[in-house]
């Protein structure tokens, strides 16, 4: 029983860490215009819209975070193998992983902007200096939380995978959850603030991203400021729920016998039940939107 209480405590802690990690991950990638909205930042100068947005296309978010978290975990593992205290090892590992992330961010920005010479897009050194540091700070929060939760899963809950492999698995999952949830909010709602609210961006408007702020010219810090209010927390809730529910159903129900089937099945049925709950929630959201917002009036006539 004591074991289970301990497990629940660790589960709650990992869920909280995952929520913070998800929120930080999404904000970081939005400040860097990483992931799919990047295509528009890349496209804008080609359509004649020069901008001052940070454009760091390291890779898609899932592989990039797969690397950062796996690297942080691997370095932490190596430091622990050198008999360094676990907390210090994790912090040091994450610091080095963030260094790698920062270097990749700068080279990505330089490369993309230099290749846009034909359209007159310059390289802004001040963007490099001010944005890279901010993304590094957010990336540190995301990586540190993910590596710590992997460490807890491995050391306290007894998962068989070694730390670096857990870092790879949860890093990719973090990137997948964060990009899935956070990308539309940045891509549509922020980049195309000039387009109609409550509708997708017409394909004809592609590339015409908002480049001016309330005062002066918009930079990527403004974007992080905006998406940190909904896209970031939503990504955090998404990743937090994934980690928490996955651990929770295992920790509590794994050992309990299901009548007639034996142990293990309880956790499975609880998982299926949770899938059904989310299905119902999704259906409710979908029908609520259809009822409340209604169909688009005269879809053929409206023009932008």
Partner 1 sequence: MTVKVEVVEGGVPHTKIMAAGIIVSLVCLYLSYLNTMTGTEMFSFFGGLAVVAALIWGSHTIKVLCSYGIGTGVPSAGMIAFGSGVIAMLLATKFGLAAPIVAFVLAIVVGLILGYLSNEVLNMKIPAMVQSLTELAVVGAFTLMGFAVLISGSFTFTGLTTGSITILGASLPSYQVSFIGGSLIAVAFMLGGIAIQHPFNACLGPGWTQDRMLMLTAECGFLSMIVAAVMSFALITTGSALISLIVAIIGWIYTYKQYFALSKRDAADWLDAKPIPDLEGH
Partner 2 sequence: MSAVAAKPAAGGAMNPTAMGVGIVMLLILLGICWYVAPGLGLMALIGIIIGGVLIGFGTHFVPVGGAPAAMGQAPGIATGVAMLAAGAGLAGLFGGAWAAEQGTVIAVVTGGVGGGLMMAITCMMVNFVYVFGMGIPAASGKVKADPITGDTQAEYKSQGTEGHGLPFVSFVGGVVGGILGGAGGTLIYLMLLDLYKVTLPTMMSATEAQIMPIAVSAAGMFAVGMFLVNAVLTAYNITGTIEGPHDPKFKRWPRSVVASAVASALCGIVAILIVVI
**Residues near partner 1, by CB under 8 A:** 42, 48-52, 57-60, 63-64, 66-67, 70-71, 73-75, 77-79, 81-83, 96-97, 100, 103-104, 107-108, 110-126, 161-165, 167-168, 211, 217
Interaction between residue 232 and partner 2 (CB under 8 A): no
82 neighbors 247 (Cβ within 8 angstroms): no
Identify the residue whose tokens are 């902007």: 113
The whole-angstrom separation of Cα 86 and Cα 92 is: 10
Measured CA to CA, the distance from residue 221 to residue 134 in angstroms comes to 8
Residues in the interface with partner 2 (CB under 8 A) total 87
Integer angstrom CA distances of residue 12 from 141, 147, 241, 243? 18, 16, 10, 10
CB nearer partner 2, residue 9 or residue 200: 200
Dihedral angle computed from the Cα positions of residues 287, 288, 293 and 297, in that order, rounded to the nearest 10 degrees: 20
As given in the structure block, the two tokens for residue 141 are 């929060």
Nearer Cβ to partner 2 (159/211): 159
Beta carbon nearer to partner 2, 91 or 183: 183
Q: Which of 3, 82, 125, 198 binds partner 2 (CB under 8 A)?
A: 198
Per the structure block, which two tokens stand in for 83? 């008999």
Pairwise CA distance, residues 246 & 257, whole Å:
19
Among 135, 186, 219, 220, binds partner 2 (CB under 8 A): 186
Cβ contacts of 276 within 8 Å, gap of 6 or more: none
Residue 293 contacts which entry, partner 1, partner 2, none (Cβ below 5-8 A, type-dependent): partner 2
Tell me how far, at minimum, the Cβ of 37 lies from partner 1, in Å.
14
Backbone phi and psi for residue 37, each to the nearest 5 degrees, phi listed first: -60, -15
- Binder to partner 2 among 78, 134, 188, 221 (CB under 8 A)? 188
Distances (CA, A) of 30 to 162, 186, 282, 296: 31, 7, 25, 29
Phi and psi dihedrals of 217, rounded to 5? -105, 140
Of 117 and 255, CB closest to partner 1? 117
Nearer to partner 1, 93 or 232 (CB): 93
Site string for partner 2, 66-105 (x = CB under 8 A): ----------------------------------------
Based on the shown chain and the rule CB under 8 A, indicate whether residue 175 belongs to the binding site for partner 2.
yes
The minimum distance between CB 156 and partner 1, in angstroms, equals 18
> 294 is written with which tokens?
């209604």
Closest to 30 measured CA to CA, from 169, 197, 230: 230
Residue identified by tokens 């005269």 is: 298
Choose the stretch contacting partner 2; rule: CB under 8 A; options: 106-114, 116-124, 134-142, 169-177: 169-177
CA 53 distance to own-chain centroid: 19
Q: Which among 104-112, 121-129, 136-144, 193-201 is the span making contact with partner 2, rule CB under 8 A? A: 193-201
Three-class SS of residue 216? coil
Task: Tell me which of 13, 206, 211, 225 binds partner 2, using CB under 8 A.
Answer: 206
Restricting to residues 235-264, name those near partner 2 by CB under 8 A: 235, 237-238, 241-242, 245-246, 250, 254, 263-264
């Amino acid at each position: 029983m004591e074991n289970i209480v301990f497990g629940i405590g660790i589960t709650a802690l990992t869920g909280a860490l995952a929520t913070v990690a998800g929120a930080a991950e999404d904000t970081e990638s939005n400040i860097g215009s990483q992931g799919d909205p990047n295509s528009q930042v890349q496209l804008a100068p080609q359509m004649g819209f020069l901008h001052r947005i940070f454009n760091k296309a390291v890779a898609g978010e899932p592989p990039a975070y797969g690397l950062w978290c796996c690297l942080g975990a691997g370095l932490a593992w190596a430091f622990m193998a050198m008999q360094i205290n676990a907390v210090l090892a994790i912090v040091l590992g994450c610091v080095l992983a963030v260094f790698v992330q920062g270097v990749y961010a700068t080279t990505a920005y330089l490369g993309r902007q230099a290749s846009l010479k034909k359209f007159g897009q310059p390289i802004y050194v001040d963007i490099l200096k001010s944005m890279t540091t901010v993304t590094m700070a957010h990336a540190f929060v995301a990586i540190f939380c993910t590596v710590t939760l992997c460490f807890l899963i491995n050391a306290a809950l007894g998962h068989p995978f070694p730390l670096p492999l857990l870092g790879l698995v949860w890093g990719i999952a973090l990137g997948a959850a964060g990009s899935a949830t956070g990308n539309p909010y940045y891509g549509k709602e922020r980049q195309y603030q000039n387009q109609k609210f409550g509708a997708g961006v017409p394909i004809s408007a592609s590339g015409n991203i908002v480049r001016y702020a309330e005062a002066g010219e918009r930079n990527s810090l403004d974007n992080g400021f905006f998406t940190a209010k909904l896209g970031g927390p939503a990504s955090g809730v998404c990743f937090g729920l994934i980690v928490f529910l996955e651990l929770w159903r295992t920790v509590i129900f794994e050992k309990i016998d299901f009548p007639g089937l034996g142990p293990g099945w309880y956790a499975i049925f609880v998982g299926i039940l949770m899938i059904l709950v989310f299905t119902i929630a999704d259906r409710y959201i979908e029908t609520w939107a259809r009822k409340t917002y209604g169909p688009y009036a005269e879809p053929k006539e409206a023009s932008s």
